[in-house]
Amino acid sequence: MLVYLRLVKESFSFAMNALRTNKLRTLLSLLGVTIGIFSIIAVLAAVDSLDQKIKKDLSSLDKNTIYLARFCFGPSEIPRWKRDQFPDVNYEEYQTLKDNLPDAQ
């Protein structure tokens, strides 16, 4: 047990000596670690903020409202070139849906 304590003490003193002799390398390493941690925290905060904003916006939508659009809003198995050829929603289609779905706005 005493041998391990001496080994830890010697390793610690060797590390401290290396830090003292290489001050610039130590400073640059600490700066790099600090910038890396700050970047990770900033990205996580931005993602969390966007997540909360999306949830807030989606919760404000009425459950009886239908949104018609030419394009899909999520991933699709239909290739993009084919989706680009979809026709626009016209007024007759809107009227048909409105007549057949009285609860929708």
What are the DSSP calls for 55-102, one per residue?
HHHHHTS-TT-----SS-SS--SS-HHHHTTPPPP-HHHHHHHHHH-T
The torsion angle over the Cα atoms of residues 3, 5, 11 and 16, rounded to 10 degrees, is: -150
- pLDDT digit of tens for each residue in the chain (105 aa)? 888 899 999 999 998 998 889 999 999 999 999 999 999 999 999 999 999 999 888 877 777 677 777 777 778 888 888 888 888 888 898 888 888 887 766
Residue 18 tokens, joined: 């290396």
The pTM (predicted TM-score) of the whole model is 0.50
Write down the pLDDT at residue 33: 98
CB contact set of 64 (below 8 Å; sequence gap of 6+): 103, 104, 105
